[in-house]
Every structure is written in C-alpha cells, then in structure tokens.
Amino acid sequence: MKETATFFLILLYVGTVFGQKFAANKSEITFYSYAPIEDIQASNTKSRSFINLTNGDLVFSVPIKGFIFEKALMQEHFNENYMESYKYPNATFIGRIDEWEKFEGSQRVKASGNLSIHGIKREVKLIGQMIIQNDAVIIDSKFDVKVEDHGIKIPSAVFYNIAENIQVDVHFEYKPYKSAND
C-alpha cells in the first residue's frame, strides 16, 4: 500500500506541471558494495520514474524489496536487518535537472534534489548522461551513497563484509506520458 501511495505522490508532483512529461517504461537500479571480505551486488527492475522536459523536474521511486541478490540469505538480511524494508519500503529522489540543453542527442547533465533512503532525506547533486531521441529519453547515472548518512547500521561482526560507500548505478528509459485526463 505504501508503495502505491508513494507512486501516486510522485505522479502528482510531476503531473502538476504542464509540458513534455515522460514515464520510465524500463528501469534498472544496481548497487555494489566493494568490501575487503566480500563484494555484494543487487539489481532492481521495479523502479518508477517521471521526468518533465519542460522544466527538468525528475522523480524516481525504488521499492527496496525489489532488489535481487545472488544469495537469498543476503537478500533477507538486507531487507530485515539493514534496510528495514517493512518500515521504509521505498527509496526516492525528488529533484530537478539543473544543467542541460533542450536538444536531441546525448549530453552530460547535472541534477540536484533530495534522496531519501531508510527514512532519511539528504540533499544530493548527481551527474549523469541523458539521451533524447525521437519520443524517448534515457538517463544513466552513477553515484555513491554513504550508509551512515542514511542511518543504516552495520554490525561490527560484518563490518569488513559491507562497504561504507555503496556505488549506485541508475538506468531509466522513458516514453511520453499521457494521463487519463490527456
């Protein structure tokens, strides 16, 4: 239920502005934890995102339980012990692309906004690549997230298994969005 409510809040946020609105029809969020004892990777293809090319508004929501790990036990520990996904079901970004040119083709972009993970919101600046082609938009970005910035506790027993900085790769493919009112 919380996931549906978050999705509609995001939709409302982007839908309040008139312009060229796009919804992600394909997504992949991957994170990597490079640690001395063990590397951990998980992927999520269940994220939702919207972008408004008139003003640069950008939002995305990532369901935490949507991350798939190589080992089922890692996935269980991630959801129950670290991310507490029963309590914090989504990570979200609400912001705007600050620097970009309105032309077709590929370009480097900068976005700023609030990244909320594990119930803690942080102001962030992200750098990425945006491709605008015909009726499609693709956005890719790589950034690091410090686990301590979002109140994620790493027990001392597994301190060497989990990195303090997690690398996040974001990939969204967008198509034009039409609301029921359009």
Distance CA 97, CA 130 (A): 10
| Lowest-confidence segment of 49-53, 100-104, 178-182 by average pLDDT | 178-182
Residue 14 pLDDT:
42
**Average confidence (pLDDT) over 156-165:** 67
Predicted pLDDT at 161: 65
Tell me the average pLDDT across 102-121.
94
Give me the mean pLDDT over the 42-62 stretch.
96
Q: What are phi and psi of 97, to 5 degrees?
A: -80, 120
Q: Where are the domains of the chain?
A: 2-176
pLDDT at res. 115: 97
Average pLDDT over the chain reads 86
Q: Which CATH number among 3.40.50.2000, 2.40.128.110, 3.30.450.40, 3.40.50.1860 corresponds to the domain 2-176?
A: 2.40.128.110
Segment 149-167 shows an average pLDDT of: 75
Asked whether residue 170 carries a pLDDT value surpassing 90, the answer given is yes
**Structure confidence at residue 5 (pLDDT):** 47
Q: Are 93 and 113 in contact (CB under 8 A)?
A: yes
pLDDT at residue 54 tops 50: yes
Residue type, 167: Q
**What pLDDT, in 10s, does the model give residues 87-97?**
999 999 999 99
How many CB atoms lie under 10 A from the CB of residue 10?
20
The answer on pLDDT for 43 being more than 80 is yes
Is 90 exceeded by the pLDDT of residue 147?
no
The mean per-residue pLDDT over the stretch 112-120 comes to 97
